[in-house]
Amino acid sequence: MDAAYRKNQTNLLYSGIAIIAFGVWSALKLFFYMGTNRAAVLMNLGFMAGDIESPEIVMNIAAGIIIGFSVLFHLFLGWSAIRDAIGKMRFRLYIPITAIYALGIISSYVNELITHRVDVAYGTLFISFIIDMTSVAALVLILVSSKKLKKIRWEKAEA
């Protein structure tokens, strides 16, 4: 039982670290996307030429808010998994959020495949897909390891 406990604890710990790293990746990806596709981003935000005097400022503020939220969200998930791995997590709210987030990533790629709405180069999309699916694998590993750790801790408490 101790080997299984340590294995799941290590899996949960390293998956939490991976989610934090993927948060940095998603922030960088968004930062570079907004830097290279300014016209498309402004159009997606609903700005037409001449709507406001400086749409760049609005876009930069929106980008800052989105990037900040993304980093904080990944920090929350990763840090919660790490705290759960070392046994200091009391409220396990991060588990359903992790499941919803993994399903959201998968459904966004399924939606892109169905609608064939791709506005980036296929090489970039492929790299992004590989990294995002690795992120999903880390999220699933968090779900599985936390469930197994909870079961082992419960069995130890009863013994």
What is the pTM assigned to this prediction?
A: 0.81
List the structure tokens of 14: 């390293």
DSSP H helices in the chain: 2-36, 38-44, 55-85, 94-115, 122-158
Rounded to an integer, what distance in angstroms lies between the CA atom of residue 98 and that of residue 58? 31
- Other CB atoms within 10 A of residue 93 CB: 11
Going by the DSSP 8-state scheme, the letter that residue 121 receives in this structure is -
Name which of 29-43, 68-82, 94-108, 112-126 the model is least confident about.
Answer: 112-126
Rounded to an integer, what distance in angstroms lies between the CA atom of residue 61 and that of residue 52? 14
Amino acid symbol at 9: Q
The burial of 79, by beta-carbon neighbours within 10 Å (0-12 exposed, 13-18 middle, 19 or more buried), is given as: middle
36-62 pLDDT per residue, tens? 776 666 666 666 555 556 667 777 787
Categorize the per-residue pLDDT at 1 as very low, low, confident or very high, splitting at 50, 70 and 90. low
Residue 144 contacts residue 7 (beta carbons within 8 Å): no
105-116 pLDDT per residue, tens? 999 888 877 776
| Residue 11: C-alpha distances to residues 2, 55, 68, 116, 148 (Å) | 14, 45, 27, 36, 11
Rounded to an integer, what distance in angstroms lies between the CA atom of residue 92 and that of residue 145? 13
9-38 pLDDT per residue, tens? 999 999 999 999 999 988 888 888 777 776
Residue 33 or residue 71, greater confidence: 71
Residue 69 or residue 58, greater confidence: 69
